[in-house]
Amino acid sequence: MLREFSDGILQRLYPPTCVLCGAQGQGGLDLCAPCLADLPRNRHCCRRCALPLPAELPPGALCGECQRRLPPYAVCYAAFRYEGPLPILST
Ligand SMILES: [Zn+2]
Ligand SMILES: [Zn+2]
């Protein structure tokens, strides 16, 4: 209950603001809905190491490096490709 109260005060003092465009943030995030929707999701990637794959390769394929030698881990997940606005967000 104290946490909810303090979160409510913080939301009023520092409302979520999109770090990319300055619009009002949504869902408690410092991103607005359009900017969140535009983030480069890593949907077509190597099933082992999550490296983005060329469009011509089928879903679930392995990248060239993993075909040559599998990495020592079973799987890797990367929600986004490191491109577009993401380098700005990480600085
Ligand atoms: Zn935005
Ligand atoms: Zn791979």
Cβ-based burial of 46 (10 A; exposed 0-12, middle 13-18, buried ≥19)? buried
Phi and psi, residue 41, nearest 5°: -70, 145
Q: Determine what percent of the chain is predicted with pLDDT higher than 70.
A: 96
Which pLDDT tens digit goes with each residue over 2-12?
A: 777 877 787 77
d(CA 15, CA 7): 11
Ligand 1: distance of its center to the CA of 20 in Å?
5
Within a 10 A sphere around the Cβ of 89, how many other Cβ atoms? 14
Which pLDDT tens digit goes with each residue over 52-72?
A: 999 999 999 999 999 999 999
What Cα–Cα distance (Å) separates residue 78 from each residue in 20, 25, 46? 21, 23, 10
Total length of the chain: 91
Ligand 1: distance of its center to the CA of 5 in Å?
27
